[in-house]
Amino acid sequence: MNQKKNLYFIALIPARELREKINLIKRDFALRFNSKAALKVYPHITLKTPFKCPAKEHVELVNWFSELRNFPKAFPISLNGFGTFDNKNSPVVFIKPELSNDLMYLQKELIASFSSLMPDDIHPLDLSYKPHATVAYRDLSPAMFSDSWKEYGNKNFKEIFDVTAFYLLQHDTKKWNIISTLSLEK
């Protein structure tokens, strides 16, 4: 018997003002480069790649998330410019966060804890973490990627946001929704 599974991921989400700035870039990709997929999710930096969990284990997952401890205090993240994951079939354009010890520690500790809960759901990308805030992917054609990168490869984007929490999101078959928030100490 096939049991229903829900789709989740864990991420950092900047404050509304910065989300709006990032969404302007996503809308530019949608309008000028025919890439709309990134508009379906909050601007974010993924900490744990999307994973499926049986619906009957939803409460256990949310409880695990809300009881997480031993993370850094709130910290700033600097976003600086654009980058790409060059995939010939489905290239990705993203805003680059500058690496920081706090960000890397948070992600590493989160994955270590997650692996004790769901050891079979650790993705190789969770272990070779490359933080990014996606602005175009999946439906960005190689030709449009090439056109967009001529512009965005040299474009400035500099912002700083304070990481005061991270979020567990669940997909409802149409969009991602925040279902739990874990605040960091200030």
| 19-25: Cβ within 8 A, 24+ apart | 19/43, 21/159, 22/95, 22/133, 22/135, 25/95, 25/135, 25/157
Query: Tens of pLDDT along 13-22?
Result: 999 999 999 9
* DSSP H helices in 34-100: 58-66
Which pLDDT does position 1 carry in this prediction? 52
| Vertex 185: Cα angle to 97 and 48 (nearest 5) | 45
pLDDT band for 161, please (50, 70, 90 cuts): very high
DSSP 168-184: EEEE-SSSEEEEEEEEP
| Vertex 60: Cα angle to 54 and 64 (nearest 5) | 125
Q: The pTM is what? A: 0.92
Domains, the chain, in order of start with CATH, read 5-183 (3.90.1140.10)
Average pLDDT, the chain: 93
